[in-house]
Amino acid sequence: EAGVTQSPTHLIKTRGQQVTLRCSPISGHTSVYWYQQALGLGLQFLLWYDEGEERNRGNFPPRFSGRQFPNYSSELNVNALELEDSALYLCASSLGEQYFGPGTRLTVT
């Protein structure tokens, strides 16, 4: 069974640009979660989508947004990138416990 997949693996962007990260959940999982792991800040919850709707949101500004598609895959969009957005972005899917993908490492210069 395929695990959670994320793309791209690595990304380098310039401050002020916009970025879209993608996540495909494990087959049969309807919930998708996004977390940010920035250096020195630990793992922080960003967003939770279930059945196409945003169910919960962490303490992040509105320039962090996302959506979930009918096939349960998800996108995370970050507008007006700032240097402190540099982090590993992890996606997880769940039917109970959360299983994580390999992450997308975003570097903002």
Partner 1 sequence: AQKVTQAQTEISVVEKEDVTLDCVYETRDTTYYLFWYKQPPSGELVFLIRRNSFDEQNEISGRYSWNFQKSTSSFNFTITASQVVDSAVYFCALTSGYNTDKLIFGTGTRLQVFP
- Choose, by CB under 8 A, the member of 23, 26, 87, 103 that binds partner 1: 103
Judged by CB under 8 A, the stretch of 14-22, 68-76, 78-86, 96-104 that binds partner 1 is 96-104
- Tell me how far, at minimum, the Cβ of 3 lies from partner 1, in Å: 9
Task: Name the nearest CA neighbour of 25 among 86, 83, 105, 90.
Answer: 90
CB proximity list for 48: less than 8 A, separation 6 or greater: 31, 32, 33, 34, 54, 55, 56, 57
- Tell me how far, at minimum, the Cβ of 68 lies from partner 1, in Å: 15
Does residue 76 touch partner 1 according to CB under 8 A? Answer: no
